[in-house]
Amino acid sequence: MRRKPFVGIVLLIIAAFLAMAGCAGVSREEASMTFAAPDGSDEARVLTIANDYRRVLGLPPFSLHRQLSSAAQAHAAYLSGLNAKQRDAAVSAHRETKGVEGYTGETLGDRAEFFGYSGAVAEGVARGDFLPEHAIIALFDAPYHRLEFVNPNYTDIGFGIRGDARVTVINYGSKQPLANETVVVYPYPGQRDVGTSWHVRETPNPLATFGIDDAIVGYPISVSVGSSRVRELRFIAASLRLDGREIPFFAVHAGNDRESKGNIFLIPQKPLQPGGTYEVTVEADKVYGDEKAERFRQIWRFTTQRDLEIKHAILDNYEGVDFVLFEPAVNSIPDLEYTLDKDGRRVRTKSAFKKSITYRLDAAVLPEGDYRLHVASRMLGQEKDYRLRLATINGKRAVFLE
């Protein structure tokens, strides 16, 4: 029996819709629109991950917003309800078709307005067989989808999560003009345990100009400005060095990519070396609407992860079949391979870069007990064994690494 794994995700481009709000303050009614997600809920977990990224970058945290959450939940339900024919006919996962069940607005701007949100808005959509936490990480690793996470101007956020259909929708918003022109780089200066690689499966594809798709490259480096005052970042020059050696990369910017405006991506042509300290230099112009240009040059270093380590495992069930998701301690690992054995018999396997997991078990449901988990990454040059236990705790089946 075969199914698509977590790494076989589909990522869809952020569709930004600007509707500027001119008021400078926040009313009492507007303040009541923010809320705290229940502890342990999907929303609470993904908000924590999103704000962890914001915290290390020194950016203001996101606050859950009721209207954006309602819009995201409605759109997630709409996407979940589409049949195969409707999905094939859809122009974009960010657009809805009038007359289809669940319709609340053709564009993100229409849907935000329908639920009462007025301001600058943007959207990210992830679809595939993974948990909401994995969706957030996968969206952040994909350079186009990272941009809204690291935009200091967006402080409102809403999530629409349909675990049964493997759909996660994120709506970002700001009631204020997008005036903050801070240049944000990621990986950030001094960051450690940075991922070494990325699987190119984002739509739109940032490497389409170079004819690269569905391939493993180095972890994307992003330089971005999220202000509506800046028309584009004009690329001047860049370099990536390891121990003084020049590392070849693809430079994606407004000069060669129509999707790029306020961003520059440096995507290494090959996976980065584990445990290596890289130096990045970027020189570019902030170009304003009146053609005024302001040049900046930034130099920083980051260090890639060295060790392969699994933080925890998650038991999921899809259409009556058990499968196990493994979360690395530091980053997603595109070439992660694993085998799961019980009593000397192999019951689950996943090979690197394959679009399916092959299940080898007479019964679709994994029995309780102890398993041997073997994980490996050729890129990190490491492999490890773990003991995994499947048990029922408080009426819920779960897996635990020991």
Residue pair 271/378 in contact by the 8 Å Cβ criterion: no
Alpha helical stretches, state H, 61-175: 66-81, 84-89, 108-114, 132-141, 143-149
pLDDT at 360: 53
pLDDT tens series, the chain, 402 aa:
323 323 333 333 333 333 333 333 334 344 456 666 666 688 999 999 999 999 999 999 999 999 999 999 999 999 999 988 888 778 789 999 999 999 999 999 999 999 999 999 999 999 875 678 888 998 999 999 999 999 999 999 999 999 777 899 999 999 999 999 999 999 999 999 999 999 999 988 999 999 999 999 999 999 999 999 999 999 999 999 999 999 999 999 999 999 999 999 999 999 999 999 999 999 999 999 988 999 999 999 999 998 888 888 888 887 788 888 887 777 778 788 888 999 988 888 887 654 444 545 556 889 999 999 999 988 888 999 999 999 999 899 999 998
The partner residues of 282 in beta bridges, in order of sequence, read 238, 298
pLDDT for res 312: 81
Task: Count Cβ atoms below 10 Å from residue 146 Cβ, excluding itself.
Answer: 22
Per the rule left: phi > 0, alpha: psi between -120 and 50, beta: everything else, 389 is: beta
Burial class (CB in 10 A: 0-12, 13-18, 19+), 40: exposed
Residue 166 is predicted with a pLDDT of 85
- Cα distance between residue 80 and residue 82, in whole Å: 6
Q: How far is Cα of residue 75 from the mean position of the Cα atoms in its chain?
A: 18
CA angle 166, 170, 176 (to 5 degrees): 175
Residue 7: its pLDDT value, please?
Answer: 31
pLDDT computed for residue 33 by the predictor:
67
Contact criterion met (CB below 8 Å) for 357 and 5: yes
Residue 148 phi, psi dihedral angles, 5° rounding: -70, -30
Residues 368, 391: Cα–Cα separation, whole Å: 5
Segment (H or E) for 225: strand 221-225
Torsion of the alpha carbons at 243, 246, 247 and 252, rounded to the nearest 10 = 130
Please tell me the pTM assigned to this model: 0.84
What is the C-alpha to C-alpha distance for residues 392 and 368, in angstroms, rounded to an integer?
A: 8
The values of phi and psi at residue 393, to 5°, are -120, 120
Question: Pick from 357, 332, 361, 334: which is nearest to 346 by CA?
Answer: 361
Closest of 265, 257, 267 to residue 204, by C-alpha: 257
* Per-residue pLDDT at 20: 34
Q: Which residues are CB-neighbours of 396 under 8 A, at least 6 positions away?
A: none
- Give the residue from 150, 100, 162 showing the smallest Cα distance to 126: 162
Can you read off the two tokens belonging to residue 11?
A: 């990522």
Q: Which of 56, 188, 169 is nearest to 108 (CA)?
A: 169
